[in-house]
Chain A
Amino acid sequence: MKKGMMNTVRSRGAATATRRALLLAAPVLAGLAGASGFLPTSAQAADTPLVIARAMDINSLDPARTWCDTCQIYVSNVYEGLIGLGPDNKTLVPRLATKWESNADQTQFTFHLDPTAVFSDGSPVEAKDVKWSWERLHNIKGGPSFMMDGVKSIEAPDAHTVVVTMDAPNSEFLGILTAPYTGAINSDVAIANGANANADADKSDTSEAWFMANSAGSGPYVLADYKADDELRFKANPNYKGTKVGISEVVIKNTKDAVAQAQLLESGGADIAMQIDPDTAKTIKSDSVAIETVPSYNFVYVAVSPGAKGNTVKLTKEVRQAIGYALDYNGTVEFTVAGQGKLQSAPIPNGFPGTDGLPTPTQDIAKAKELLEKAGLGNGFEINAEFPNMNVYGVDLSLLMQKVQQDLAKVNIKVGLTPLEFSVWRTHVRGDGIPLTAVFYAPDYFGSAQYIQYFAMTEGTPWWKRAGGANDASITNAKEGDLLKQALAAPEAEKDKFFHDIAMEMINDRVIIPLVSPNVVLAHAKSVKGVRYSACCNLPLDEITRE
């Protein structure tokens, strides 16, 4: 009864009221949405900031504590080093040091500093600053401290000369100095803000917080503002004595995924996008975007650890070589980076000393099966693979491992996959070890010794430890250590031969199996010139101009 009466009394008033409200709201919303579009946006003048879209992985802005790809961009452009790496990514070029000499047996290096060089506050760059910065780099015991390993002493006989003496021959030292972490810090300013270079600097230095908000280098740029996880802003150093830079303000904007970076590039919100993968690159249609793909020195590899606790069978050299033959290298490059990558034979990047003439990795299922039969594993076995759940240099490690799983299934090896957070993975690989894992590596400077010191099966190297070298003598390959010593003592012209031999040994070890060296996609607005990939520093900013 009540219902019936309600029906007759009902009117259309409510409907019209709602409609009116909506009609009013729509243009207001649209107006606000379009407002920022209609209002004048910053014109693309030469003095507007250069916006770089990348995933910021900054762990510190203190040159002695920092370690990440974005950090390389910051440190190399703000804290100038003594030696730079030329555009061919091989030649050493002068920066703070105008010339240098090394003695005959590569144990002593002398550097002559540019007398006109100044820091961002106008004070001159002196040898004492270089000595202080390098001692601090070693004593802070941070991520990049290993670069000063083997240094016996650093002397500053006069204001513009630095002499470094090594414990043992180290022909790589000059190459190491192209790494951004060896840049010169304005010691007076840093000391005034809590920094020191003493032996206990790791405990007594309190300057990290200051470095997060200020910079004290002699490079073409200085820190303007840093908002963690948001943006890193730098502006041109007015006191820089070198060639004037083309862009006066640079902003690195945190953009976590490739698609967002590509969209920003196309819409004009970013000038350079650094981590676009080849699949996404194909989808960029705008005429104002230039895309180049260049080979890089980064690579992704799988590592087989015979000494890992979780192994079900003994991973002898034959078994490891069988695994190496079973992998479909070309297919992996196709799957992970749509063919935009190169094969790599040894854990030394293509183009680095010693890599000429190395055999290309090939898949040979028959050979793999034969080797497994000989080892009594014709029916295959199970192996557990844990790996970091990451996407690096365009390669999704998850996808990579699924391909590996498919490939190894063809020779009856059953791979169980467990993706882990990077921090958890690190504990596993260091503790119990992981039978099969995948990881990446990027060069710290141009030189092959770093790879041997990291990947070779000589006592004490990180991968020797992880592969179980401490408990299993069959893993150790002493030849690699001997050859390295000879390489470090050899004159420039003869180094390559030694590195080549070491590379062949590492290939045979089959503990580290590189799968793909992904190409770097350089994506930027056409109006931006001078963008290039650098082996040491990721992205040199001082060559960039905008028309």
Chain B
Amino acid sequence: MAESASIHATFSRPRWLTAPVAAGALIVLFWAGVALTVQWWPIDDPVAFVGKRLAAPSETHWLGTDALSRDVLSRTLHGAQHSLPIALVVILSAVAIGATLGAIGGFLGGLADSAVMRLVDITLSFPPILLAMAVTASLGPGLWHAAIAMIIVWWPIYARLMRAQVLAVREREHVEAAVAAGASAPRTLFAHILPLCWSPILINATMDFGQVVLLIASLSFIGLGASPPTPEWGQMISEGAQKFYQWWIAFGPGMAILSVVLGFNFLGDGVRDILDPRTQ
């Protein structure tokens, strides 16, 4: 009781660690683990013919086999090694480019701001999927070309977000005070404004991760993306759509995408709760 209080300190659950956030973190950790280690798992080779074609789920093949007798579960798990690293690269690049341009525009204002906003407007005026399609058609097929297309599509969102934040924070009293006290422009930007701007970016990036995975799958679904026999989720669903009555072929990748997107969404909620004390 009282004498063991110091040893058995009660675990006080942080406010933000709710069940969904924990679930999200677990899902994300699971898929990250899969993406990093699946090549060593004792499961079927995702490109080998391993049994009867179009076999329903059974004990030997938990998600059955597809039209080329490949194990669907194994292909689903290996798909993580293609979708997730690409999504990471896309998000990091889009944030880097977008945040930089947005901060410059928001802080400097005037011509720089107009230039950035016009660039943002032009890029955002393309229906994203069409822009991605046009870029990929121009560069040729392949997952990395699709990644470039997606970076081009995604950066304006972060530019705008950063710019809005910089504009709002720029007017705050402590910034006016710093300027009055003689802080130089770079110092004002980096030391006083930017530190307050990151939370929406971080929140958005976490939640966008799932959306990027979705867009990769969408591009692959319409035929721009990984080449066969790479087990990419969107491409697997497109194969599954042709063999519609063999529902398991599309089920594995569909559930994979769903769980990844949900996981990052929940995680993003948690991140928001940590960073943004306003939401109660």
Tell whether A and B belong to one assembly: yes
Main secondary structure of the interface of B (DSSP, over half): loop
Among the stretches A131-139, A178-186, A395-403, the one at the interface with B is A395-403
Considering the complex, give the chain B residue whose CB is closest to the CB of A283: B245
- A424, CB-defined interface residue at 8 Å: yes
B141 adjacent to A419 (CB under 8 Å):
yes
Given contacts A259-B241, A406-B49, contact A421 B137 (CB under 8 A): yes
Residues of the A chain whose Cβ atoms lie less than 8 Å from the Cβ of B49: 406
- A313, CB-defined interface residue at 8 Å: no
Residues of the B chain whose Cβ atoms lie less than 8 Å from the Cβ of A334: 53
B242 adjacent to A403 (CB under 8 Å):
no
A419 to B140 Cα, complex, angstroms? 10
A417 adjacent to B141 (CB under 8 Å):
no
A184 to B12 Cα, complex, angstroms? 88
Among the stretches B165-173, B182-190, B223-231, the one at the interface with A is B223-231
A280 adjacent to B245 (CB under 8 Å):
yes
- A420, CB-defined interface residue at 8 Å: yes
Residues of the B chain whose Cβ atoms lie less than 8 Å from the Cβ of A403: 68
Given contacts A399-B68, A406-B49, contact A418 B141 (CB under 8 A): yes
Q: Mark A89-104, 1 if CB is under 8 A from B, else 0.
A: 0000000000000000
A418 to B47 Cα, complex, angstroms? 16
Residues of the B chain whose Cβ atoms lie less than 8 Å from the Cβ of A417: 227-229
- B82, CB-defined interface residue at 8 Å: no
Residues of the A chain whose Cβ atoms lie less than 8 Å from the Cβ of B152: none
Residues of the A chain whose Cβ atoms lie less than 8 Å from the Cβ of B68: 335, 399, 402-403
Most buried by A among B54, B69, B228: B228
Contact of A258 among B54, B137, B242 (CB under 8 A): B242
Within residues 396 to 444 of chain A, which ones have a CB less than 8 A from any CB in chain B? 396, 398-399, 401-403, 405-406, 417-421, 424
- A123, CB-defined interface residue at 8 Å: no
- A279, CB-defined interface residue at 8 Å: yes
Residues of the A chain whose Cβ atoms lie less than 8 Å from the Cβ of B137: 421, 424
Considering the complex, give the chain B residue whose CB is closest to the CB of A336: B67
Within residues 232 to 255 of chain B, which ones have a CB less than 8 A from any CB in chain A? 239, 241-246
- A193, CB-defined interface residue at 8 Å: no
* A-B contact number at CB 8 A: 57
B241 adjacent to A257 (CB under 8 Å):
yes
Residues of the B chain whose Cβ atoms lie less than 8 Å from the Cβ of A335: 53, 67-69
- A391, CB-defined interface residue at 8 Å: yes
- A508, CB-defined interface residue at 8 Å: no
A120 to B120 Cα, complex, angstroms? 57
A445 to B49 Cα, complex, angstroms? 39
B223 adjacent to A405 (CB under 8 Å):
no
A402 to B47 Cα, complex, angstroms? 9
Given contacts A335-B53, A399-B68, A419-B223, contact A424 B140 (CB under 8 A): yes
Residues of the B chain whose Cβ atoms lie less than 8 Å from the Cβ of A279: 54, 67, 243, 246
Residues of the B chain whose Cβ atoms lie less than 8 Å from the Cβ of A280: 243-245
Give the shortest distance, in Å, between A159 (CB) and chain B (any CB): 53
Give the shortest distance, in Å, between B274 (CB) and chain A (any CB): 22
A258 to B137 Cα, complex, angstroms? 26
Would you give 27 A-B contacts (Cβ < 8 Å), ordered by A?
A257-B242, A258-B242, A259-B244, A279-B246, A280-B244, A335-B67, A335-B68, A335-B69, A389-B141, A391-B242, A396-B67, A396-B239, A398-B228, A398-B239, A399-B239, A401-B228, A402-B68, A402-B228, A403-B68, A405-B229, A406-B49, A417-B227, A417-B228, A420-B140, A421-B137, A421-B223, A424-B137
Chain A residues near B (Cβ < 8 Å): 257-259, 277, 279-280, 283, 334-335, 389, 391, 396, 398-399, 401-403, 405-406, 417-421, 424
